[in-house]
Amino acid sequence: MTIQPVEQLLDTRRLAQAYINGEWVALSQDKPFDVINPATEEPAATIGLGGKQDLNAAVAAAKKAFPLWAATPVEERLAVLDKVLELIDERADKLANLMSLEMGATLGYALSTQVPLAAAHIRVARENLASYEFTKMRGTTAITREPIGVAGLITPWNWPLYQVTAKVGPALAVGCSVVLKPSELSPLSALAFAEILHDAGIPAGVFNLVNGNGMDVGEPLASHPDVDMVSFTGSTRAGILVAQAAAPTVKRVGQELGGKSPNILLPDADFANAVGPGVQAGMRNNGQSCSAPTRMLVPRERLAEVEQLAATAAESIVIGFADNELATHGPLANRPQFERVQTMIQRGIDEGARCVTGGPGRPDGFERGFYTRPTVFSDVTPDMAIAQEEIFGPVLCLIPYDSVEHAIEIANDTVYGLAAHVQSADLAAARAVARQIRSGQVLINYPAWDPQAPFGGYKQSGSGREYGIEGLEEYLETKAIVGYDVEA
């Protein structure tokens, strides 16, 4: 596998353009921005950042296109989604290469995980649309669900295509028109996805894309009076700003924000087979996942055993360049995140946590690039910053507990509530614990990923849900037509 340069993957004119009303158009301002390859710390490409004028044009196009798209027969929308799926499959290598360049995923991981999971969101939106009842009767009243209108979508850099399809798929499926602002740190795969939608025959104005930063495009998108809802994925800090910007226009706001997910190993769990997958889950995508189970809660008397198992698992991770077929992990996605993770690792040491493996600095053999040592801390107490704050890197905290009730208390003792894991040989016991954890999703005994399972947070992890039927319904309004069937 060889990484290709951007000019072999994208029409380079797209880098300085927006996709508005079915056309690639020049941006209103000359504001270049380097997209840094995290493996080399050198620019992989230079994009143009749009501004409020571009955003306004995109919203106007979406508003104009909405009525016709909302009225389009379901069969026609299904046909577009089918073509999108076909093109994602055909262009998987291109998409994987772009994600390696923009955010550091190895080619193997991008091809095996990033691209297929992104396609799954389109497939689920298509399946749910095919069977969804938009009108149901309740006595003589018709309860009808209608597309909400123009959806403003703001996506992050850590899963750059996966998060785009998780929002765009259901929004388009139900009949919304869309304005997408991908992260300016990893925008390349989103540009390729815009090409896919164009080639799939999406009508002009139904899908629009404007690259830009939060101040120039994100805030105007959230506050725009002609945007009927905004869906945001990112940090809790940024999510608060989006909600504040949206508040004066009283639009719907969906937010998938930060997390500090616990992984409770109950006393009867098979530790030999539970610890390793827990480490891998916490460090999947280099720990750059809001739902990563980065707090492993273990019985105090088993802590030493877990330390050895966790260290072995972390040390089995192969750090390498994107085209290294043996590499499981590449660099962190960008410099600010690399510096954040390094700071938090040092803070854990300063707080008195014991570093079992890993630690500050790059792995041996890497003198540049945002490569980070997979790190496991033990003797972590719930009040430490590394146990409370989202690190967003390959850093696992081992936290001992004294009873199952104590474990549940620790699990719930953060401002977050996005996801959690429970491991146990006793399914009934695992279910009982799962019901007591305040998070939007709980996974028992490392199940297969379920794209139909709704995903979203309690507390400061957000509001609303993505994925599955619940994710589809985020883009719908509810109308009651009373007296619809008087004969009934």
Give catalytic residues, as residue numbers.
256, 290
Q: How many CB atoms lie within 10 A of CB 480?
A: 10
Q: Which structure tokens are listed for 323?
A: 């085209």
| Distance of alpha carbon 43 from alpha carbon 46, whole angstroms | 7
Letter string b/e over residues 143-168, b meaning 16 or more CB atoms within 10 A of that residue's CB: ebbebbbbbbbbbbbbbbbbbbbbbb
For 54-73, give the DSSP string: HHHHHHHHHHHHHHHHHTS-
Q: Which structure tokens are listed for 48?
A: 């143009």
| Distance of alpha carbon 32 from alpha carbon 228, whole angstroms | 30
| Distance of alpha carbon 127 from alpha carbon 40, whole angstroms | 41
Beta-carbon-side half-sphere exposure of residue 467 (alpha carbons within 13 Å): 18
Q: Which structure tokens are listed for 194?
A: 């815009």
DSSP 319: B
| Distance of alpha carbon 391 from alpha carbon 342, whole angstroms | 9
C-alpha closest to that of 181 among 199, 198, 195, 168? 168
C-alpha closest to that of 274 among 444, 449, 451, 442? 444
Name the pairing type of β-strands 150-154 and 229-233. parallel
Radius of gyration for the chain, computed over Cα atoms and rounded to the nearest angstrom: 23
| Distance of alpha carbon 391 from alpha carbon 386, whole angstroms | 7
Q: How many CB atoms lie within 10 A of CB 396?
A: 31
| Site of tokens 């497939």 | 123
C-alpha closest to that of 151 among 216, 221, 64? 221
- Distance from chain centroid for Cα 88: 18
| Distance of alpha carbon 207 from alpha carbon 21, whole angstroms | 8
Burial class (CB in 10 A: 0-12, 13-18, 19+), 127: middle
Q: Which structure tokens are listed for 124?
A: 């689920």
Q: By 3-state DSSP, what share of the chain in percent is helix, strand and coil, each rounded to 5? A: 45, 20, 35
In one-letter notation, the amino acid at residue 360 is P
| Distance of alpha carbon 71 from alpha carbon 67, whole angstroms | 6
DSSP 31: -
